[in-house]
Amino acid sequence: MSRDGILLMNVGTPDEPTVDSVKTYLREFLLDPDVIDIPAPLRHLLVRGIILRTRPKKIAPRYDSIWMDGGSPLRVYTQRICDKLQIRMEDSTCIVGMRYGNPSIRSALEDLRNQGVTRLLLAPLFPHYAQATTESSIKHAYKQLNEMNWTPDIIEFGHFETEDEFIVPLAESIRPHLDTDTHLLFSYHGLPISHVKRIDSSKKHCQKVENCCEIACDANALCYGRHCSETTYSVVEKLGLGQDQWSMSYQSRLGPVKWLEPSTTNKVKELVERGIKKIVVVAPAFLADGLETLEELDIELREDFIEMGGEELIVVKCLNDNDQWIDGLESLVRKRLDVQVA
C-alpha cells in the first residue's frame, strides 16, 4: 500500500543555548561548502581557526535570551508547523528534519521509511531559492537516501516566493501593524554576492545590469535576490502601499566578502536620517522565528533604532504556525503531491 511522506526541512539550531552546543552547531553549518563556498583548506582555516574560537561565546547568550520551555524557538515553531500540517493531512506522514543539528534529516528519513512511505515530498521551508538553504538541504537529503539505499518516488517542493498561499497570510500578518506614519521594512536573510552570481549561467546579467534582481529573465530564474524582490512587490501590492512607504534590505552577514545590499542596519540608519520615526520590520525569508528575528531584529535592531533617534520599531512575527499560513502550506503540499512522479 502506497503512502506519502512529507519531509519539512529547516536550517537547524543548537540543542542547547550553551557555548559547546553552539560550537557544535556552527561547525556543521559553516563547514558546509554550500554556505561558505571557498576552497576547503581556507574554509577550515576560517571556521576552525577563527570563527569557532570566538563566535560561540558571543552567540550562546543571545540564544539563551530567546530560549523557550520547549527548546530553540526555530525547532519549536517548525515542529508546530509540522504538527498542524499532519492534522490536516492524516493520510500522509509529516516529519521535521534539520539540515544542521537535530532532529537530523537522516533520522527523519529513517522514520519515514519505517512508516512505510513510498512517495516522498522534499519540502525545504524556504520561500526563496538559495544555494545555502534550498540547494544544500535537497542535496543532503539525496545523499542520505543514497547511503540508506532507499529509493522512494521523489517530488521536490521548490520555491514559492509569489504564490498566494504564502503571500496572502504574509500580507495579512503585516496589515494590523501598519499606520499612516509607519514605514514597512522587508528584511531578508543576507547572501554573499558570489552565491547569486553563480546562478547566472549567462554571466551577463547578475551585478552587471542595473537593478538586475528586479528584472525577470532566464538568467536569474533561480536568483535569491530576484525572488526576494518578487515577494516584496507581491506583498506591497496586496497591502496597497505607495513607493515611499516601504523599503527592502538584507541582514545576518558573516565575514569580509561582499553581500547583497543594502544591509538592514544601514537601511534603518538611512530611514532615521530621512525623519522616519516608526518602522515595522518583516522578515519574509524566515517561516519560523529564531535567532535572526527574535534577537537580531527584535532586540538588537530595536536598540540601535532607538539610539539613532527612532521612536518605535515593531518586528512582525514570522508566520510560524499561523492557521492561515498552515492552510496555505497544506494547499501548496497538495498541489505538489498531485504531480505525477516522472
Chain position carrying cell 558571543: 58
pTM: 0.94
CA distance linking residue 97 with residue 105, whole number of Å: 4
Q: What percent of the chain lies above the pLDDT cut of 70?
A: 98
- Amino acid 94: pLDDT: 98
Residues 6+ apart with CB under 8 A from 341: 119, 153, 154, 155
Task: Kindly list the distances between the CA atom of residue 194 and the CA atoms of 89, 238, 333, in Å, as whole numbers in the listed order.
Answer: 39, 32, 31
Cell digits of residue 44: 577550515
Amino acid symbol at 24:
T
Alpha carbon of 309 to those of 162, 247, 272, 273, 299: distances in Å?
A: 35, 19, 7, 9, 16
Q: Are 199 and 223 spatial neighbours (Cβ–Cβ below 8 Å)?
A: yes
Q: What is the pLDDT of residue 340?
A: 53
CB 293 within 8 A of CB 315: yes
Does 342 have pLDDT greater than 70? no
Domains and CATH numbers, the chain: 4-160+323-337 (3.40.50.1400), 164-315 (3.40.50.1400)
Lowest mean pLDDT among 34-48, 168-182, 220-234, 327-341: 327-341
The mean pLDDT of 134-140, rounded to a whole number, is 97
Lowest average pLDDT, out of 80-84, 113-117, 212-216, 227-231, goes to 212-216
d(CA 260, CA 226): 11
